[in-house]
Amino acid sequence: MSFFKDKVVIVTGSTQGIGKSIAQKLVERGAKVTINGRNGQKLEQTQGLLTGIGHEVLPVQGDISLMEDCQRLVEATLEQHGRVDILITNAGINMLGKVAESDPEYLKKVMDVNFFGCLFPFKAAFDALKASEGNFLMVGSIAGFHGLPMNTMYSASKMALTALAQGLRTELAPHNITVGHAYVGMTEVEPGKTVLDTQGNPVPKPKFQIKPEPIENVSTRILKMVEKGTFQQVFTPMGKVNYVMSRLFPSVVQAVLKRNFKRVEEDVEGEK
């Protein structure tokens, strides 16, 4: 029997990409899944896809950077199923460009979605997770190992998740709530995927210069972390190298970033 059979799982940011793949694998394994996203049309389409597999899916539209929407997300799940066993926070946005040239509203938005978009759903689900002695997993990024120029706010928001995961791991141990943090590397994106420019306008996501990891592989590894109760895992060989280098040789990493900054700047500016 699957570990996830009849488990009640909330997955944020689950209308596309990694989150959508996680939700699909969960319903295939017999879980009762609550999906979430801001776009109502995408949410409806995802619900149709997943229920077509033949399993129970609850769609709850909302912005996970707002505490009231997170409370509504959890309340709807509790009303439907009576408990929450697993919370996976996956929603996130990216912003490219120089911080000094960026609109403060959108600098804040990146932190609101990527950091508080993990913290607020957890806050809303805490009592339910305590009752079920459940599992809370945050989908982070290898971009959180070292501040990346032209991607500074995204790096900062993902780096903040490390401290959050470490602190919660200790705080939640007495309640038998398992905490996990997945450092995801460069992953395939769906057609039409966008990021924000310095003024908050959606622009095409730059093409990867190295081969990205398939979404299916990433979602499978994330669910394996949940099943095993793994606290931390770094994805992709490049991610593992970056992890070691940033911890042991941060000055070398900084020197490489400085040397390549002009090229990175041109790549980002070229996407506008």
The string of pLDDT tens digits covering residues 114-164 is: 999 999 999 999 999 999 999 999 999 999 999 999 999 999 999 999 999
Quote the CA–CA distance of 84 and 100 in Å, as a whole number.
Answer: 42
Q: Of 28, 23, 30, 41, whose CA–CA distance to 5 is shortest?
A: 30
CATH superfamily, with its number, for domain 8-270: NAD(P)-binding Rossmann-like Domain (3.40.50.720)
Q: What is the pLDDT of residues 18-63, one digit of tens each?
A: 999 999 999 999 999 999 999 999 999 999 999 888 678 999 999 9
Cβ(86)–Cβ(180) under 8 Å? no
Q: Is 154 a catalytic residue?
A: yes
- Of the pLDDT bands very low, low, confident and very high (cuts 50, 70, 90), residue 271 is low
| Alpha carbon separation from 117 to 38, 69, 80 (Å, rounded) | 12, 10, 23
Backbone angles phi, psi at 168, to 5 degrees: -65, -35
- Residues 106, 154, 183, 243: which is the catalytic one? 154
Domain parsing of the chain, residue ranges? 8-270
> What are 91-114's pLDDT values in tens digits?
999 999 999 999 999 999 999 999
